[in-house]
Structure 1
């Protein structure tokens, strides 16, 4: 801050030095003016200037030091008390800008909240005709048409569900209920929801749950598992999807393994990025790929303190592992 003050006052320092040099030059060339006396006065003036400069530096930089130390939040700033006219101008400007940005932030938050409510309302309204369509599909006698239409219905249903949770995700901490969640009904419930798709592709499931309960939020855990299973079914052609749960070192591990196309080594670090749909030409041309499922699953898992990890051998298999936290690690979420 001292360096900045010196740079700010360079013109004044330059003017003082020029004045002193001019006086000494006049005393030097004019024999009627005693040079030693003028030199003595210049030395006293320089000393007085240095004292004055030090006092003003301490006094004037105090305001800007406190201004610089303010945080970046838009809360009402505790501004230092301005003393000079320029400090009053700066303080008034900071206060007015902060008030303006705070008002704009409030307006944007209200608009975002309204948009979220409108979209959630729309999704819930769409679910009514979707339910009616599902009942109508059950009455179809043409099995081939029924199978194809049910598959398309499921795709729409999953996209709507994904969009619903996408809008809820920013407020997930207000929607959590941590409990001892039973894995078996969650796993089999998600498998049943995908059964028409699995029948169409000839995919089965091998489920082996050694650990039966985890501390988590049932609704959001179902959503995370739904994204992993949807991803596994989407990129598998035939065969089985293996689901395992074990307990290691006081933690529960839930694994989902498919033997489909796998994920290339260059794509593996990026699969949880928003909108990423793979650089592989076959994957990239998938019309149903939005690049949101794994991203949303990772975001929800992070809030639940679940570690999500992917391992893959390209064109052979892919394994997603959910590692659940220990009970004492959930204090931030449960308040325990």
Structure 2
């Protein structure tokens, strides 16, 4: 369009000059034809180039797997085209990064559900065997049912964390009340193992989401019971750190080489391989949940003497969660 306007303006200027200087009509005609041929060819060539670029863009759109780079568009003719190409390349990189991230998330979810599917078969099989006995052990059955419920809760919490449906409700809650709710859920485990439970002074309030923190405590208590054959499990506030809850057991402890990795996805460590019941999921979910709440989780352990899990519940009330 701009080229056509330029041709028209030049034609009018040429006509005006010929008229003012009273030049022969034949010379004006030859000059006009020459201008029209030059500009016509220019316009046609430009149209061919634009159609070529249009086809290139359509081909790139059809082949969505193409990683956008400037060479796909050809050499830019001006600064504006160059900036558009830079913008397209930037968007292409963002799209590629998002695609790779989505692939990683899907792959991670697939690995999680494959592991989860294998793990949930164990309590189901154990429950079936118990049902075949003449006098089923009710306590053992309740324990296996609890494990199934826990695995189902894992799946639900994983979906909420990964899907962004975190429905957080932050408020000030009694820590003692939260601990008792977690103990009520895990009570069946304590009944089976006959472990002693020692509660320290928990008279404090914490700013948190009650539902999610109960889930974390439930998993920490389950692990403490799982790896403790005899002795006790103690729950108390760390005297040196304000609002840091400690869950301490007298179990088998964790090897020093495993300790830094116990909160990683899928990591079971030496104890998990011995017990053959570890999923490498529970503590990873705890870490992710605590980070979402603005809290921190850590561990100290000594093989043969037990483990301490620290839940640092101090949180800034104005934190952008």
Q: TM-score, normalised by structure 1?
A: 0.57
Instruction: Give the direction of change, closer, same or farther, for the CA distance of 1:255–1:100 in structure 2 (3 Å limit).
Output: closer
Please name the residue that 1:42 is paired with. none
Q: Deviations over 1:165-205 (max 9, x none)?
A: 01111355742111111222221222122222222111231
Name the structure 2 match of 1:14.
none
Q: Please say which of residues 213-222 and 168-177 is displaced more in the overlay.
A: 168-177
- State which of 188, 197, 201 in structure 2 corresponds to 1:196: 188
Structure 1 unaligned segments of length 5 or more: list them.
1-73, 75-80, 120-129
How does the TM-score come out when normalised to structure 2?
0.60
Deviations along 1:77-115, one digit per CA (max 9) or x if unpaired, are xxxx94359x6699299469739948x85xx69x97xx9
Structure 1 residues 241 and 188: CA distance shift in structure 2, 3 A: same
Alpha-carbon separation, structure 2, partners of 1:293 and 1:154: 14
Which of 282, 306, 314 aligns to 2:295? It is 306
* Map of 2:269 onto structure 1: 278
Q: Is the 8 A contact 1:243 1:257 kept in 2?
A: yes
Would the aligned equivalents of 1:210 and 1:247 in 2 still touch at CA under 8 Å?
A: no
Q: 1:83 and 2:74 equivalent?
A: no
The equivalent of 2:149 in structure 1 is: 157
Q: Offset at 1:253?
A: 1.0
Correspondence list, 1:122-201, <5 A: 142=135, 145-171=137-163, 174-201=166-193
Cα distance in structure 2, aligned partners of 1:233 and 1:172 = 31
Task: Tell me the distance in 1 between the aligned counterparts of 2:139 and 2:85.
Answer: 69
> Residues 101 and 242 (structure 1 numbering): CA distance in 2 closer, same or farther, change over 3 Å?
same
CA distance in 1, matches of 2:175, 2:247: 13
Q: Among residues 277, 292, 300, which one is paired with 1:288 in the alignment? A: 277
What SS is found at the alignment partner of 2:137? helix
Contact 2:185 2:218 in 1 (8 A): no
Match status 1:214 vs 2:203? no
CA contact 1:210–1:246 (8 Å) conserved in 2: no
**Residue number among 247, 260, 266 corresponding to 1:269 in the alignment:** 260
Q: Which range moves more in the overlay, 171-180 or 237-246?
A: 171-180
> d(CA) in 2 for partners of 1:174 and 1:195?
27
Any idea what the Cα deviations from partners look like across 1:245-283, whole Å, max 9, x if unmatched?
A: 25756x301000010100011111111111110135xx3
CA distance in 1, matches of 2:86, 2:178: 58
Q: Report what 2:92 is aligned to.
A: 98
Kindly tell me the number of residue pairs found equivalent between the two proteins: 229
The answer as to 2:298 corresponding to 1:331 is no
Contact 1:261 1:315 in 2 (8 A): yes
CA pair 207-263 structure 1, distance change in 2 beyond 3 A: same
Unaligned runs of 5+ in 2: 1-66, 68-74, 114-123
Return closer, same or farther for 1:278/1:175 CA change in 2, 3 Å cut-off: same
Q: 8 Å contact 1:209–1:245 — kept in the other structure?
A: yes
8 Å contact from structure 1 (residues 202, 239) kept in 2 = no
2:235 & 2:156 partners in 1: Cα distance? 26
Equivalent-residue separation in structure 2 for 1:185 and 1:221 (angstroms): 11
Out of 288-297 and 169-178, give the one that drifted further: 169-178
